[in-house]
Amino acid sequence: MSLFDQKLSTLQESLHKKEITVSDLVDESYKRIAQVEDKVQAFLTLDEERARQKAIELDQKLGTDDANGLLFGMPIGIKDNIVTRNLRTTAASKILENFDPIYDATVVQKLQAADSITIGKLNMDEFAMGSSTENSGFQKTKNPWNLETVPGGSSGGSAAAVAAGEVLFSLGSDTGGSIRQPASFCGVVGLKPTYGRVSRFGLIAFASSLDQIGPITRTVEDNAYLLQAISGLDAMDSTSANVDVPNFVQSLTGDVKGLKIAVPKEYLGEGVKEEVKQSVLDALKTLEKLGATWEEVSLPHSKYALATYYLLSSSEASANLARFDGVRYGYRSPNAENLMDLYKNTRAEGFGEEVKRRIMLGTFALSSGYYDAYYKKAQKVRTLIKQDFENIFAKYDVIVGPTTPTPAFKIGENTADPMTMYLNDILTIPVNLAGVPGISVPCGFSNGLPLGLQIIGKHFDESTVYRVAHAFEQATDFHKQKPQL
């Protein structure tokens, strides 16, 4: 039995009793990576020397008052678009293949303050643009449940590493479902917090009004511990919210009696596979037995969410990615005779196809004569989508539905069809547009591949989302099943 089969709280207890050491946990991580990484390919960079050195230092603190952090000594993987000082950070793009940041992202600083240990940086779709981790500039991560299928994206490496037992938990980022969708495909727990709950300082931007860092874990309880550690106001991020951070773990009571659940008919409609619908209906029956009630509702503007998202996110991406020009840092084309050539050739050679596609779309939507017709209209529809959620939350505590319309698909199956690939995020995108929190928890299997249940909450009400997710998790055993690599 792996140490990582145990909950964080159990491991902490074992550490304090000196039944295990921090070095044991780090050994477990690198031993597992050595066993399965050639199959899964979740990591882009490992930080083994520093991780082992830090483990030795933390072992000397065991038994003292300095060993009481929530995440003390726990091994974690970091998505490769979250900057780490003196540890290569590429956003899975050739344009940043030799980039060593000179500072840590705020979430990384918080993890270090909690004495967790960074094992390495995790693969992703380039600049977080994709739903399968096939758009990485370096390698394709595989789904540990079936190595012929994708792990989801863009945080595919983050989800696959946790599912494969390479790390206890990881950080991902979610712009349109990039934590929840791979969590669903890989059978783990992934939360997108409320926009502003977690600092974005040090997150390489894709779409700044949508991006949010969040935790990927084996259990809901571990997820709550990790969110606790990374949440809070940050003076370095003007979009981080000045709201209290509650004790999320205290909300895991298992009690959902009297809770009112809304189930949008649009989330169980066309395009959602029958086995996915059935797993959600079965999950609702479980929650009903626990004392909750549910009703069908409508989110009428959700049908416009996909178009709205791709216009807004691509527009923001075209602005954010303008900084990668070969002048200040990152890749610089050797094939340039003048400044204009330098810009064009660096970006043509450094960016992948999907990134170029979105830059082109975003630049078009923001261009003179098209701005009002596309970008401005999309912003108006975004407001309508947000109002839909507010109307539902005036009467209900949470919204429940599937995380993805299908289980994981085969590697290469959708690469030639961008629209089919984009449709994978159709159930997760509205949450980002509205800025509300959402979690994916395992709720079933289809032909041996995991399915995810999505639970969506009110702004800054992650506590209720966790309460429902934990109650469901405790009443089922889907989270206990592991891929056999």
Active-site residues, by number, are 79, 154, 178
| Coil, strand or helix at 51 | helix
Burial call 30-48: b when 16+ CB within 10 Å, e when fewer = bebbeebbeebbbbbbbbe
Handedness of CA 275, 426, 82, 211 (dihedral sign): negative
Distance in angstroms (rounded) separating the CA atoms of residues 79 and 179: 10
Are 2 and 28 contacting, i.e. CB atoms less than 8 angstroms apart?
A: yes
Q: 327: how many CB neighbours lie within 10 A of its CB?
A: 12
Q: What values do phi and psi take at 378, rounded to 5?
A: -60, -40
Bond from prior residue into 154 cis (ω within 30 degrees of 0): yes
Residues belonging to the chain? 485
Which helix (H) or strand (E) element contains residue 446?
strand 438-446
Return the residue matching tokens 């009112």.
260
Question: What backbone torsions phi and psi does residue 476 show, to the nearest 5 degrees?
Answer: -135, 175
Which tokens in the block code for residue 185?
């495909």
DSSP state of 53: H
Tokens representing 135 are: 């758009």
Where on the phi/psi map is residue 75: left (φ > 0), alpha (ψ -120 to 50), or beta? beta
Distance CA 440, CA 217 (A): 11
Give the Å distances, CA to CA, from 207 to 100, 194, 358, 384. 22, 15, 11, 19
Tell me 246's DSSP state: -
Taking each helix axis from N to C end, the angle separating 8-16 and 220-230, rounded to the nearest 10 degrees, works out to 70
190 bridge partner residues? 216, 440
Could you write out the DSSP letters of every residue in 358-396? HHHHHHHHHSTTTTIIIIIHHHHHHHHHHHHHHHHHTT-
Order across the sheet with 398-402: list the strands: 43-46, 117-122, 75-79, 169-174, 212-217, 189-192, 438-446, 449-456, 398-402, 260-264, 293-297
Cβ atoms of 93 and 204 within 8 Å: the answer is no
